Amino acid sequence: MTATANGIQRFTRHFPCPVCDGHRDLPQGQGIRCYGFRSSDGLYAHCTRGERAGGIQARETQAGTLTYAHRLKGDCKCGVQHGPADIKPPSVNGNGTHPSRKKIAETPLVVKHPDRTSFGQHVRIDYDDGSKDFVWRMPDGSPSNGRIKSNQAPLYGVEHLSQYPNQAVVLVEGEKPQKALAERGILAVATVTGADGTPCVESLQPLAGRDVYPWPDNDPDGKGQRHMGRIEPRLVDIGARPHMLTWPAAPPKGDAFDFFAMGGTVEELEEMMAAADTYQADPETEDDIEPERKRFELLTPQQILNRPAPERLIDDLLIANSTAMIVGDSGSGKTVLALDLAHCVASGRWWNNRKVKPGPVLYVHAESGADLHLRLQAWAKANGQPLPENIYFLEEVVRLLEPGDVDLLLDRIAELPEPPVFVIIDTLARSMAGGDENSTADMGLYVDALERLRRATKANVTVVHHTNKSGLIRGNSSLRAALDTVIEVKRDDDFVTLSCDKQKGIGPFKTIRMQVEIVPLGEYWPGESSVVLSGLVSNRADTFDSHMKIVADTLVDTFGDLGATATQLEAVCIEQKMGRATYYRAKKSLVEQGFMVADKEGRGARYRPAKALWDKLQSLRDLPDTYQQNGSSVGI
């Protein structure tokens, strides 16, 4: 089913999505945008945030965007009741503005650093229809133009903490409840990220060593509760002691301001604080947390020898819980390889005769995704199996040099049913936005971000990167030095070659060659097709590919021990629809590997099968089931 929308129904900052509170004008790269719309009858909100979908199936708009239709009246299949559907979008004129909506008040709130210097102005704008907006301005009141990131902002009121060392603090969402607490002599600070954001660790650091009482807004959809829930473990990480507050009589969206407005007293709040539960780590994951290693720990030789052997994610190719890079020129097949590896790990399918460690996969696909659907369908068709359900794609840029972006990515990972065993960042250039690839400092920060992802997930974290015009790894050399594995990808006409540039811990893998083929997709999308990589590999010898076998079979079956001249052998192979370039490469490989011998050099040479070739073909013909397409396929 295809959903449609017009400009009046689109979610905007003045008319946000009732499911996720998102709209198209929110900052990019933070996972909070919503490109959806409300149905013309007002009964459904078409939200684009898949994590809010629950059991709702996706629908595709005419523009190709996936939306999830949430029922706004009664029970919704996502499991949350979103309220009545009698609210219609406000009228708009031709340029998208609201002629009946007038600004009635503008309240700048100065957010300060712990040392009392100004960070910026968080301005609340109120309108006559009861709606409001928040915008950031620089300390001098000028527009921030995106220079201020909410997740990096200090907590509102943090400048007062130094006057009350070691005193307990109440943590709320927004300046209004913070002021309600402060006016009654209660030490309090507030987040300024909104419920969809999360303060970075640096913003929370002033709370280290204190008892902290997070007080979530009582949002019907649980947004406020999840906001404080994401903050709790970060408080533990910095050495704070969080105790989540619960207000049993809270109305929908009720917060600390409403508590006092409804007659609540400081004494009642103190009783709530005394009854608050201390944060406990999830018992299902607590045992999986890697214990913090003591700095400058001294080890004996036996302790080093007793370390477990490195676990493989893909035998001989990638190590679990490590960092890696797939590098090559544009069009060399880097993404095809990354997608192929991702789907094999997610589905548990062996990759080119190599066993995989199956598990969920996260693929950050920050490059243009216009043909991603073709790539995925090509993999499914070429491999004869459905796409795995436990591979998750993120089609947004994650700026790894921004700690807030890494925080948000880890938040999204924490929402998955299981942590991923494989994380792919495609590409380095897109995920290093704002940084300099040639800078040692910037590349060091980038590597630190990869390591942070690895430590948090225990996954193999692989980044896809480009070579320069000289064929070398682009950017600062500290990148290669810091990684465990580097896979170099090169394309030569109908073949893609994978070679090991670096492999720590398990030794280098042998060079792998895979064939480039075309998969027609006309049954899905008329006129469309996608290129795939396929490997016809023998279980006995990875270097004896399908084209070598065709030439070898032709030499043995057609000419026997007498052999054939190069012209005779070529003619018969061409009759079998083999391209000349492919034939010459296969013949050259057979000669170089000793499977085929020539009686002399140059023109007129006669090629005969060597004993090694007879043995090879005999072994393959005795074991027909082992000579098969063990390599997998995927659209480039």
Instruction: Please state, in angstroms and rounded to a whole number, the distance separating the CA atoms of residues 157 and 169.
Output: 11
Instruction: Please state, in angstroms and rounded to a whole number, the distance separating the CA atoms of residues 188 and 174.
Output: 11
CA atoms within 13 A on the CB side of 600: 5
Instruction: Please state, in angstroms and rounded to a whole number, the distance separating the CA atoms of residues 475 and 468.
Output: 8
Quote the distance between the C-alpha of residue 595 and its chain's center: 46
Residue 508 is classified by DSSP as P
Instruction: Please state, in angstroms and rounded to a whole number, the distance separating the CA atoms of residues 311 and 320.
Output: 5
Higher pLDDT, residue 62 or 24 = 24
pLDDT in tens, 361-395: 999 998 766 788 888 988 888 877 889 999 999 98
Instruction: Please state, in angstroms and rounded to a whole number, the distance separating the CA atoms of residues 574 and 566.
Output: 12
Percent share of the chain, pLDDT over 90 = 32
**Which ranges of 416-565 does DSSP label H, i.e. alpha helix?**
428-431, 440-457, 478-482, 546-554
User: What pLDDT does residue 226 have?
Assistant: 83
CA angle 172-53-132, nearest 5°? 40
The most confident of 308-317, 455-464, 529-538, 578-587, by mean pLDDT: 455-464
User: What pLDDT does residue 286 have?
Assistant: 39
Confidence of residue 446 (pLDDT cuts 50, 70, 90): very high
The most confident of 155-169, 287-301, 619-633, by mean pLDDT: 155-169
Domains of the chain listed by start with CATH number: 1-99 (no CATH), 149-283 (3.40.1360.10), 312-534 (3.40.50.300), 539-628 (1.10.10.10)
Locus of tokens 């074991």:
623
Average pLDDT over residues 433-458: 90
Question: 70 has which bridge partners?
Answer: 45
Alpha-carbon torsion, ordered 151, 419, 479, 533, to 10 deg: -120
Judge contact between 227 and 184, C-beta under 8 A. Answer: no
Quote the distance between the C-alpha of residue 196 and its chain's center: 18
3-class state of residue 573 by DSSP: helix
Q: Which of 353, 347, 359 is nearest to 313 (CA)?
A: 359
pLDDT in tens, 331-369: 888 999 999 999 999 998 888 778 899 999 999 998 766
Q: Which of 209, 166, 206 is nearest to 189 (CA)?
A: 206
Q: What are phi and psi of 588, to 5 degrees?
A: -60, -45
Residue 539 has pLDDT above 50, yes or no: no
Residue 8 has pLDDT above 50, yes or no: no
Residues whose CB falls within 8 Å of the CB of residue 577, separated by 6 or more in sequence, listed in order: none
Question: 157 has which bridge partners?
Answer: none
Alpha-carbon torsion, ordered 80, 83, 88, 89, to 10 deg: -50
Residues whose CB falls within 8 Å of the CB of residue 466, separated by 6 or more in sequence, listed in order: 327, 328, 329, 330, 334, 427, 428, 429, 474
